[in-house]
Amino acid sequence: MYSQEELSRLCHQIHQYPEPGWCEFVTTARLVKHLMPMGLEVLTGTKIINPKYVAGRNLEQVNLFLEKAREYGVSELELKSFEDYTGCVAILKTGRPGPVLAIRCDIDCVEVSESTDPQHRPAKEGWASQNEGCMHSCGHDAHQTIGIGLCSWLADHRDELCGTIKVLFQPAEEGVRGARPMAESGILDDVDYFFASHIGIDVPTGKISAHPGCFLASKKLDAVFTGKASHAGANAERGRNALLAASTAALAVTAIARHGQGRSAVNVGTLHAGEGRNVIASTAKLQLEVRGETEEINSYMYEEAVRRLEGAATMYGCTLEILPQGEATEFNPDEKAILLAEEVANEIVGKENTARLHQPMGSEDATIMLKRVQSHGGIGTYLLFGSDLKAGHHQNLFDFDEKVIGIALRFYEALVSKISGVK
């Protein structure tokens, strides 16, 4: 088991080498290195990832980080065992009858360059990101640390537990890309209890919520328009302008009427197009997303977006390819799971620090895992562990109160004991 000081050192080590979604090769190797000596079963590759459902995976970026992993010292044998996919699942099978409990920790980083400001604690203390353009600015370094600490506790207390406990170290949460292919592997299909969590989110240290608020269903997609190039001065009529098609689509999609039955959102984040000043653009690409408070609202937003993308392509005589990039579903936690988590939270931080929140949240692909568990008769919820922040999530000055790691770990130890303890 780890002390608070050891947990902080481990978190700093993880913080120094962040990797984006589907590229977490060093991260996965480090996890396996920590978990295997504990005597847990550790699964990687296609045992936990169904390639058919992988989305938003940039092969050029993956190959770049594979090379970085080799330079870092990850062996070819280790990389081969990953089968080109990242993440892992640690499993404790106690051999005694009991429930199957799953806890999810995400492992990827945000693609932002960490601040070099000397007042920024990681920079000041020498454990800032070593990967330019990558930073653990959302707390997933803490999530990994909590997961590793929990696995160590499971190994030390296996004789006091029953049933099966799974700790899922999920890749590619950013962009909501990793949960679907992990869920579709079947790793959750026997789970009776499922919990996922996050630190921070503008909640002070010492607070725990077993119902943090409303997560939105979401679909992320790229829209690729293909037209025909021609000289803009000599024979513009021969061209098919993909840039104008994409621009028209961007305006049309952004103008979708918001749904009256709940929160909805749409955003076109990027538009890349064209080959030159005097050339009718033959290619253009939009990156966009839609969100909805329910699956019904999200489907409305998605279908309306696709209709407008197709209309813009037709208007300018272009072809259109829509490439899924990620997804999340609506958040429907189970009251029984919430009450169970609140009972444990009351023990760890006191009833006065346990509360259900109603704050608007973004999207979280753990909702897909929760829905998969529920479809097979299990229950679950999503937890928020408060942590004072020096700067907000996804910012280059992000930093959090590391006391949250110990609080979350004690919570999960108590939760596992309550659900899976030998009676």
Q: DSSP readout, 139-205?
A: SHHHHHHHHHHHHHHHHHTGGGB-SEEEEEEES-TTTT-SHHHHHTTTTTTT-SEEEEEEE-TT--T
Q: Are residues 19 and 106 in the same domain?
A: yes
Phi-psi region of 326 (alpha: psi -120 to 50; beta: other; left: phi over 0): left
Q: Are residues 319 and 400 in the same domain?
A: no
Domain hosting residue 321, numbered range: 217-326
How far from chain centre, in Å, is Cα 314? 35
Facing residues of 170 across strands?
Answer: 106
Burial 165-187 (b: 16+ CB within 10 A, else e): bbbbbbbbbbbbbbbbbbbbbeb
Which of 280, 306, 326 terminates a domain? The answer is: 326
CATH number, residue 306: 3.30.70.360
CA gap 291, 253 in Å, rounded: 13
Q: Are residues 159 and 298 in the same domain?
A: no
Q: Are residues 45 and 138 in the same domain?
A: yes
How many other C-beta atoms lie within 10 A of the C-beta of residue 130?
13
Q: How many CA within 13 A on the CB side of residue 167? A: 27
pLDDT in tens, 185-228: 999 999 999 999 999 988 999 999 999 999 999 999 999 999 99
- Render each residue's pLDDT in the chain as its tens digit; 423 residues: 788 899 999 999 999 999 999 999 999 999 999 999 999 999 999 999 999 999 999 999 999 999 999 999 999 999 999 999 999 999 999 999 999 999 999 999 999 999 999 999 999 999 999 999 999 999 999 999 999 999 999 999 999 999 999 999 999 999 999 999 999 999 999 999 999 999 998 899 999 999 999 999 999 999 999 999 999 999 999 999 999 999 999 999 999 999 999 999 999 999 999 999 999 999 999 999 999 999 999 999 999 999 999 999 999 999 999 999 999 999 999 999 999 999 999 999 999 999 999 877 899 999 999 999 999 999 999 999 999 998 889 999 999 999 999 999 999 999 999 999 997
What the block records as the tokens of 187 is: 């790793």
Q: Are residues 186 and 273 in the same domain?
A: no
Q: Are residues 67 and 175 in the same domain?
A: yes
Q: Are residues 199 and 59 in the same domain?
A: yes
Report the pLDDT value the prediction gives residue 31, as an integer from 0 to 100. 98
CA gap 29, 270 in Å, rounded: 33
CA gap 245, 310 in Å, rounded: 9
Report the pLDDT value the prediction gives residue 107, as an integer from 0 to 100. 98
CA gap 6, 58 in Å, rounded: 35
Q: Are residues 137 and 278 in the same domain?
A: no
Residues 416, 344: contact at Cβ < 8 Å?
no
Report the pLDDT value the prediction gives residue 3, as an integer from 0 to 100. 86
What the block records as the tokens of 377 is: 């008769």
Which of 298, 326, 354 terminates a domain? The answer is: 326
How many structural domains comprise the chain?
2
Q: Are residues 176 and 30 in the same domain?
A: yes
Which of 295, 326, 357 terminates a domain? The answer is: 326
Q: Are residues 137 and 209 in the same domain?
A: yes
What the block records as the tokens of 82 is: 């990953």
Report the pLDDT value the prediction gives residue 364, as an integer from 0 to 100. 96
CA gap 113, 130 in Å, rounded: 10
Show Cβ contacts of residue 392 under 8 Å, excluding neighbours closer than 6 positions. 202, 398
Q: Are residues 148 and 209 in the same domain?
A: yes
pTM for this model (two decimals): 0.96
Report the pLDDT value the prediction gives residue 377, as an integer from 0 to 100. 98
Report the pLDDT value the prediction gives residue 24, as an integer from 0 to 100. 98
CA gap 247, 253 in Å, rounded: 10
Residues 78, 26: contact at Cβ < 8 Å?
no
What the block records as the tokens of 114 is: 């960490």
Report the pLDDT value the prediction gives residue 390, as an integer from 0 to 100. 86
Q: Are residues 82 and 16 in the same domain?
A: yes
CATH number, residue 390: 3.40.630.10
Over 345-383, what HEC string results? HHHHHCHHHECCCCEECCCCCHHHHHHHHHHCCCEEEEE
Report the pLDDT value the prediction gives residue 14, as an integer from 0 to 100. 98
